[in-house]
Structure 1
Amino acid sequence: MTDDTTPQTTRRTVLGLTGAGIATALAGCLGETTIPGQNAIGNSDQSARTYRVTVANLTNGQPFTPPAVVAHKASTELFAVGDPASDEIQEVAENGNLGPLTEFAENSGDVRGVAVGGAPPVPTELPASAQFPYTTTLELETDASGAFLSFVSMLIGTNDGFTGLDTVPLPDRVNESRSYFASSYDAGTEMNTEMYEDMVPPAQALYGIDGGVDGTGMSDPDLAEDGVIMPHGGITGDGDLDPAIYGWDDPAALVQVERIA
């Protein structure tokens, strides 16, 4: 525990740094995934709860995929350091694909509410922040049994990096708020080449770079790594990324949660 429709993805060409181009890249590679606001079926209005969740990107050079926040029972765990990544976390961390997480949320009785952001939180230092702010705010509906929050978002300019929270308490009283810092993690499922050709296409689009190669929204078996989730080592500079520009220090994200009426 830490406190701090599945889309078919294909290879895509790099798109220019325009609002329309980046939106197309995100839709094509990350998927225009819709996760229903799954307020606990069969519960009365008296037990319903609504939360305002704001995710802020604290890095200098790592855009996030649209964040997914999940309200659930204590028995559910999306990820844990030292354990192998689930298929759902692997798809988020490698490909920015929320489809498997959608399916998990829809089929799990322990998940009581889900919300997904509509745009990638982009650091203010990157040009794409003119189209995409560094914060995203969502409303999450749940009930009293869904008293815990988890959050995941891909670090777009990595092979299999993500930031997230696993099973942190939601505020209990109306107008009560809590803040959590989220660290960065390596899913341990793909080798960290730091090459544009091995990253999702929105990496180049959001950086405003045409690296001359297609990115990929599919896992590469030749890069498969049989590891476990660990704290991310950051950008080393062995590939296409300059650590001074695209690196980051933890915490990677700030998550603020407020229970609203």
Structure 2
Amino acid sequence: MTDDNSQPRFTRRRALTAGGVALGGLALGNATVLAQNDGGNMRTYRVTVANLTRGQPFTPPAVALHRPSVEVFSVGDPANEATKEIAENGNLDPLSTLISETNAIRGSAVAQGPLVPEADPGQTGLPYFTELQVSADASATKLTFISMLVGTNDGFVGLDTVDLPTEVNESKTLYANGYDAGTEQNTEQFGDLVPPAKTLILGGQPEGTGQSNPDIAEDDVIRPHPGIQGVGNLPPSVYDWREPAAVVHVERIEPQ
């Protein structure tokens, strides 16, 4: 990654307008989308996600509270459909389906909109951090976080099955790295990326495609992202980042 001292559902098919920038439609809203109850003892958490990169927007961050048996993604393994769709298209629909069909996922939430770097190079007016509140019963002891690195072919930032705080007012600060889903070649061409990859950082007219291109598909595994190499349209001086890509602060709070 290029060293940088500045720290502090996009789909390819549907769009909405936020802050004057064309953004992809969200599959999930800005509130808890699942909260399963084992008969009591509900726990509530405040999850704050901040973008630490200088040139990578995030799609609206999604978090899930779950039992230890759940693994939304795992480095070294092939990406499942939910991770692939987030990493390639910012599409949360498969994740929504996974949540609704997986009893061991006890609570989840997704932010209202995308996060841009704190310096906001595209002058979008969008925030660089967001706060989510999500509840689940006491059987959920783990948290997973995932969001697309918008200026990549199939990159995402995430935390895989980390421990939740156990006591009220207890908190944890966690750092999340960028990963390559291994499902699409890193062409770094705007034509192969979602249109907001250009508009959220460089501004101007959007470029991109409405569908994944099978000609650049990969059959690989999730691995640390190599960063922006400058092989296409993305200047590394703008789009590259150093790890960690995000900071996630998790606090158990009194139910409201």
Code of the residue aligned with 1:252 in structure 2: it is: A
- Among 235, 240, 250, the residue aligned to 2:228: 235
1:256 to 241, 249, 255: 249
The question of whether the paired residues in 2 share the 8 Å contact of 1:199 and 1:217 is answered with: no
Give the CA deviation at 1:43: 2.3
Give the drift of 1:130: 4.8
Instruction: Map 1:177-216; keep pairs closer than 5 Å.
Output: 177-210=171-204, 214-216=207-209
Structure 1 residue 116: Cα displacement? 0.1
Q: SS of the residue aligned with 1:37?
A: strand
Q: Higher strand proportion, which one?
A: 2
Structure 2 unaligned residues grouped into runs of 5+: 1-8
CA deviation after TM superposition for structure 1 residue 209, in Å:
3.1
Q: Which amino acid aligns with 1:40?
A: Q
Structure 2 CA distance for aligned equivalents of residues 96 and 258 of structure 1: 27
List per-residue Cα deviations over 1:165-221 (Å, max 9, x = no partner): 00000000000000111011000000000011111111122123336x731242211
Percent of pairs with identical residues: 51
Greater fraction of residues in helix: 1
Mapped pair 1:124 → 2:107: no
- Inter-CA distance 158–201: structure 2 relative to 1 (3 Å threshold): same
Q: Please report how far the alpha carbon of residue 125 of structure 1 lies from its aligned counterpart in structure 2 after TM superposition.
A: 2.5
- SS of residue matched to 1:75: coil
Task: Give CA-to-partner distance per residue, 1:68-116, whole Å, 9 cap, x none.
Answer: 0000000000111110000100000000000100010011000000000
Would the alpha carbon gap of residues 217 and 150 (structure 1) be closer, same or farther in structure 2, given more than 3 Å must change?
farther
Quote the offset at 1:131 in angstroms. 1.7
| TM-score, normalization by structure 1 | 0.88
Matches within 5 A, 1:53-202: 53-128=47-122, 130-202=124-196
Distance 1:197 1:11 in 2: 16
- Residues 9 and 238 of structure 1: is their aligned pair in 2 closer, same or farther, counting only changes over 3 Å? closer
Residue in 1 that maps onto 2:28: 33
Question: What is the root-mean-square deviation in Å for CA atoms of aligned residues?
Answer: 2.2
1:41 Cα deviation (Å)? 3.3
Cα distance in 1 for partners of 2:233, 2:135 equals 41
Give how far 1:8 is off. 7.6
Q: For residue 225 of structure 1, what is the amino acid of its counterpart?
A: E
TM-score normalised over the length of structure 2: 0.89
Alignment match, 1:10: 13
Distance between the aligned counterparts of 1:129 and 1:110, measured in 2?
41
